Amino acid sequence: MNWIVKQIEKAQPFFRKLSANIYLQAVRDGFISLMPIIIFSSIFILVANVPNIWGFFWPTAVSDNLNRFYNYSMGVLSLMAAANVARALTRNLNVRLPKIDQIPEAAVMFGAQISFLLVAVDPFTNKAGVLFFNTAFMGTKGLICAFLVAFIVPNIYFFCFKHHITIKLPDAVPQNISSAFTNIIPFAFATFFFWIFDMVFRALGNANLVAWIIQVLSPLFTAADGYFGLAIVYGAMAFFWFIGIQGPSIVEPAVTAIYLTNVEANLKVFEAGGHATNILAQGTQYFVATIGGTGATLVITYMFALFAKSKELKAVGRASAIPVSFGVNEPILFGAPLILNPVFFLPFILTPIFNVWLFKVFVDFFGMNGFIYNLPWTTPGPIGLFMGVGFSIQALILIVAILAMDVVCYYPFFKAYDAQKVAEEAEADAKAVAAGVSPTAVDAPVEVDSGEIPVSMTKDKKNLNIMVICAGGGTSGILANALNKMAKEKDLPVEAAAAAYGAHGDLLPDMDVVVLAPQMDAMRDSLKLETDKANVKMITTTGKQYIDLTRHADKALEFIVQKLTGKSANDEKSETHTPTQTPTPTA
């Protein structure tokens, strides 16, 4: 296993570059801002349909109004996705342009929306001659087309702004008027491109672009929902995480369209009284394949907490249990560690696959529905599974079966690793006793007072404004909350904010320091361009170091102050992170 892991690590630079691809980032970041819409609209569907399970049906007027909210949000999801993904890509392209030649995000969003409507919507008139839009392809069905539009429109703007193909008015013209004219040529190029393309495409194919994409990719959608396709999707997520790269950041952009389309299709079948059989869905990822986080780490975390003989593993398990229960599993991934640990290579990759296969067996052979509702990823796995498939009895049985299977998958490797850690701890204790040091000695708390915080170096000269960025806002929230709590208790001039990577852009200019979680290290170079432009100090962290910071706010603040002032004696050692370096499986 050590040899296998070393061979896998050799490919890490390639996968890191793939993870940092600006188009994958744009899809992921664009959808982060859409998640509240997706989740909130699903609440209305839950209220509208869940009572039917127990024989209660809302009056038609109430049901129609509940469904109307869903239709007016999810029903135009692709239109919003075209705008948001285009905005995310524009932000990435803007860091490659001078400050005086920045592409206006709002203009790109409008251009992307109009371009999407041109290629995805079929207009029609009623008997009275009133013009209508056919919205059939404006929901989840049009997502792939929305991505294509969102990739092309910002690049047209980028080309025009980079080569100054814009209308330049005299300096005496007010800035707001001048900016409007600057946008005319790029906007015209983008919308005319899709207008002409649509006319030619419809003339040749007698269909709009969305309908053609659905027809061409339908075999791929079907194949992805089979046992082999599911193994590739969820095995790849676990594989990338195992080598230290946030797996969903690579895989999710490729399957997001399938996820949302399948859930909507399942819901329609369920509402019609049929059997919803599509497997690939966000719920499948959150509550089946990655129950407790990527690698299906819920079970192994509680094994550490309850049954480990190793003091370290027991401590790591107990500290990680609550976050992992809500899908935040970086504390166990880096704390044990699980990633790049040869002992856990097989269960980490295979357990998510087995979970999804078992889920598919229940759907195919025991009449359970696939996911018909979208729920927040922080919903505890068993609860999310039970709710997401419609509160079925089969789901309760499946939950027990999944947990039991995960125990079987992880238990032999848990025992082997626990025995290894116990032996290492005994050896370390023996050396400590021989050296006259108490084996149970712990580091004293770090005291940081107001005078040590370099307020004079901050932008507002009042507070040290810190942003912590991770993949989904989970561990970054833990660290930011701990810093704010300590600042309040000790009356320190510190304010901290947490953000998921991709949702940090609006807050970044007001920050003094950004702490980047190790799971997003592949985005380091991209973020560095943004922080340099915004005059913000960026601090990177390693795995165990970051988890230790989330547990000790005092150490975290001292670490940040040292990095900001450059006074740390071990500055280079603590900040440098070599991507190809293998963290040892021992603490």
The burial class, CB within 10 Å (0-12 / 13-18 / 19+), for 24 is middle
Q: What is the chain's Cα-based Rg?
A: 26
Terminal C-alpha separation, the chain: 19
d(CA 147, CA 83): 9
Helix or strand run (H / E) with residue 432: helix 393-434
Alpha carbon 479 to chain centroid, angstroms = 18
List the structure tokens of 549: 């910071």
Task: List, in sequence order, every residue forming a beta bridge with 467; answer none if it has no partner.
Answer: 497, 514
d(CA 226, CA 224): 6
- Residue 11 near residue 17 (C-beta atoms within 8 A): no
d(CA 86, CA 215): 25
d(CA 30, CA 526): 16
Among the residues of 121-226, which ranges form H helices? 143-162, 175-182, 184-205, 209-224
Query: Which residues contact residue 572 at a Cβ distance below 8 angstroms, ignoring those fewer than 6 apart?
Result: none
Task: List, in sequence order, every residue forming a beta bridge with 499; answer none if it has no partner.
Answer: 469
470 is catalytic: yes
Alpha carbon 165 to chain centroid, angstroms = 36
| DSSP at 450 | G
The burial class, CB within 10 Å (0-12 / 13-18 / 19+), for 511 is buried
Of the candidates 560, 550, 377, 378, the residue with the CA atom closest to the CA atom of residue 466: 560
Query: Which residues contact residue 152 at a Cβ distance below 8 angstroms, ignoring those fewer than 6 apart?
Result: 115, 190, 193, 194
Looking at the annotation, which residues are catalytic?
Answer: 470
